[in-house]
Structure 1
Amino acid sequence: MFSSLPLLILISLIPPSFSSPHLVFDPSSVSLIPQEKTNFTVSLSEPLEFDLGVTLKTQETQDYLQFSPSFLISPNASSVIEVNPTHPVNQVYLEIESCSVNGTTVNASDCPVDVSSSFARIRVIRSHPLDVIVDIVGWAYFLAWSISFWPQIILNFQRKSVIGLNFDFVLLNTIGFASYTVYNSLLFFDREVQSEYISSFPRSPIPVLLNDVVFAVHAFIACVITGIQAIFLERDNQRVSRICIGWSSILVLCGVITSILAVTSVIRLLTFVDSLSYIKMAVTLSKYFPQAIMNFRRKSTVGWSIGNILLDFTGGSLDLLQVALQGFNVANFSNVIGNPVKFGLGFVSIVFDIVFMIQHYVLYRGNQVVGEYEEIDEEGVPPLIPLRESIKILILRVKP
């Protein structure tokens, strides 16, 4: 206790300011390959009147990085650390373990400067070109998924009909992407949500980028357009099933309840945002079943765009390819094992895409169905004669 007294006196002599002096790493984030030595500059945001000794943590970095853990920062000066990466790793940090003044050493939490946000993020990869390929694959699946919404919309306009498109799928997809849009928008734009996220995950960057927001908004708009088509174009007697109405009500109710709890400060805004991601997951796991069952009962995929499926399959496959390439590049597949939900949802989508392709190209190839529809929770409903055919029959019967 008494050995820390000189340090405490020095801390008390630091002039007050609106923000405490803190250590700054430059660069703060970098990707390197093994043996690619890089210098990090460590400086103070505000000058001190004494020399500051700093020691970095080595326990978690010793298997991946080589560097001198101790250095001295003089007043109005900075220090340079040379880091030599040795083995691939997804993410590792240069962090402050302790600091010292005039021979007195204290833990990072008792440092005379703020080191709570002082760190450098390092990713050691096998290959920079492979890292570029990972980014290209990411943009490719983003493009494929974005375009995948339009073949169904175009097909509906061309046929002037939505017969064959399952309304349960349309409703669930709209709910899912509405949740996903709010989720991405709040994480990207809302400062309070971002602050709560950083507080919960201080070493993790915000997991949403601008392209995520653009994709979600675009997908939601496309779902709304498809929903409008379902209302105004020819649809025979198709409607949303009772099962889907019940399931959709539960999902919407969950979103409404958590939003009210967040607005009234019963739960954090971040908890509400997380609940939206769970709603999107639930939708993804359930939305394909109605369309697959409808195709099976009709023995046809007429009205269901195969272009949508091919693009979705392409996007999903590229997504999983990116995950695999990322894992290989850092010699660590924890991005699969550590996030089984994301991997599982992508896998489920691909499985259903394969089911739809088998239905379209193998089981019901060339099958034509004229306008019957059976709700997925009702059995034994006889096929209905389409409206146009009914009018023709009526005209023939009344002719003299």
Structure 2
Amino acid sequence: MFYLSQLEPVLQSYHSEVTNNKALDIISNIIGWAYIFCWSFSFYGQLYENFKVKHVQGIAFEFLGLNLSGYLFLSAYTSAGYFKGGENGWPFSGNITLQDLIFAFHSVGITIITIIQIAYYYKKGDNPGVSLWCIILLIFLWSQTIIYIILTWIFGWQVIFQNEKLNVLYWMGYEKLFVTLIKNVPQVYLNYQRKSTEGWSILNILLAFIGGILSFLQMLIDQLNGKSANLVEMNIVKFILSCIVLVFDLIFIFQHYVIYNPKRNKSKTIQDEYHYMKQ
């Protein structure tokens, strides 16, 4: 955060001189589609991995359950910001782009396809299933979201945010951040427990990592181009989401290439497991 505080005065000064430069708009748009490509296609690595090994021992089911809920929340948040935010009516904070919207809806669809694929390949004993703590957490997240909708949209209560129309939508954005913060923990632990990352797609992680860097770059260019006057007015959900994604991607990369490198650290247990599955 120290670096952000150092950067903000520079951006504010630049913002007063540069507004809506066409060249920066084009660059931001290209980078936006590039990060959407990386983040979106990162999902397909796991689909291919599941197809290749024909089982689901390498993926944590908690990850998928939390992932689907998180992207449903993100879809509601980005839809409100894109269709109703700013000049369209609601005082929605943050610059929501078309790329953000497409990514959110694509993520919901591809996560559902992955869940269907895993249901097809699942064999008894492959995976312990969704943990009780994850089920309780999902019930809690959806229950308080429904309560929020009742309080804000039906009764008009200003529970946290001042604008009742945005109350639950902002909250869904923050719920997505919370889900992203915890959804990768079961996968990190499963890799540690199995002492292997086989069955978990590293392509997924590498593309997500590149996408996170490009997402940061687009937000910086948009600020330099006068899209917002300070760091607070940027799409804060997208900003924090990128930070969380990068941290966990680095952990997965370290697990795959250093601790559990499949070329030099494949345990006999994993070898036997894969030999059995291929028979």
TM class by shorter-chain length?
Answer: 0.7 to 0.9
Q: What does residue 167 of structure 1 align with?
A: 61
> How much has 1:389 moved relative to structure 2?
5.2
Does the Cα contact within 8 Å between 1:167 and 1:230 map onto a contact in 2?
no
- Indicate the residue corresponding to 2:155 in structure 1: 265
TM-aligned CA deviation for residue 258 of structure 1 = 1.6
Q: 2:73 aligns with which of 179, 189, 193?
A: 179
The alpha carbon displacement at 1:350 in A equals 0.5
Q: Does 1:124 align with 2:19?
A: yes
Q: Aligned ranges for residues 131-142 of structure 1 at < 5 Å?
A: 131-142=25-36
Gaps of 5+ in 1: 1-86, 92-122, 373-384, 393-400
More strand by share: 1
Q: Does 1:228 align with 2:228?
A: no
Q: 1:337 to 1:207 in 2, by over 3 A?
A: closer
Deviation at 1:352, TM superposition (A): 0.9
Shift of 1:132: 2.6
* 8 Å Cα contact 1:323-1:336 kept in structure 2: no
Residue 49 of structure 1 corresponds to none
In structure 1, what is the Cα distance between the partners aligned to 2:90 and 2:239? 26
**What displacement does 1:183 show?**
2.7
Give me the whole-angstrom Cα distance separating, in 2, the residues matched to 1:345 and 1:154.
25
Given that residues 34 and 214 in structure 2 are in contact (C-alpha distance below 8 angstroms), is that contact kept between their aligned partners in structure 1? yes
Q: CA deviation at 1:199?
A: 5.2
CA contact (8 A) 1:169 1:291 kept: yes
Return the letter of the residue paired with 1:241.
Answer: S
Q: Which residue of 2 aligns with 1:281?
A: 177
TM-score, normalised via structure 1 length: 0.55
Task: Tell me the C-alpha RMSD between the 2 structures.
Answer: 3.5
Change (3 A) 1:387 1:257: farther
Q: What amino acid is aligned across from residue 242 of structure 1 in structure 2?
A: L
CA contact (8 A) 2:81 2:96 kept: yes
Determine the C-alpha separation between the residues in 2 that align with 1:194 and 1:333.
17
Q: 1:183 to 1:324 in 2, by over 3 A?
A: closer
1:215 pairs with one of 87, 103, 117: 103
How far the C-alpha of 1:146 sits from its partner, in A, is 1.4
Q: Secondary structure at the match of 1:89?
A: helix
How many residue pairs get matched? 255
Shift of 1:328: 4.7
User: Could you tell me how far apart the structure 2 residues matched to 1:253 and 1:271 are?
Assistant: 15
- Which protein has greater RCO, CA pairs closer than 8 Å, 6+ apart? 2
Any conservation in 2 of the 1:197–1:270 contact (CA below 8 Å)?
A: no
1:88 counterpart (11, 14, 17):
14
SS for the counterpart of 2:214 is helix
**What CA distance in whole angstroms lies between the structure 2 residues aligned with 1:188 and 1:129?**
22
TM-score (norm 2): 0.77
Aligned pairs (5 A) from 1:27-66: none
CA distance in 2, matches of 1:338, 1:368: 44
1:267-304 CA distances to partner (integer Å, 9 max, x unpaired)? 43321212211211111111111111111121100110
Tell me how far apart the structure 2 counterparts of residues 178 and 371 of structure 1 sit (CA, whole Å). 37
**Where does residue 6 of structure 2 map in the other structure?**
none
| Equivalence map 1:253-332=2 (5 Å) | 253-267=143-157, 268-328=164-224
C-alpha distance in structure 1 between counterparts of 2:154 and 2:86, whole Å: 18
Structure 2 segments unaligned to the other structure (5+ residues) = 1-12, 158-163
1:364 Cα shift? 0.5
Is the helix fraction higher in 1 or 2? 2
Change (3 A) 1:289 1:184: same
Q: Is the 8 A contact 1:336 1:343 kept in 2?
A: no
Aligned equivalent of 2:134, options 237, 241, 244: 244
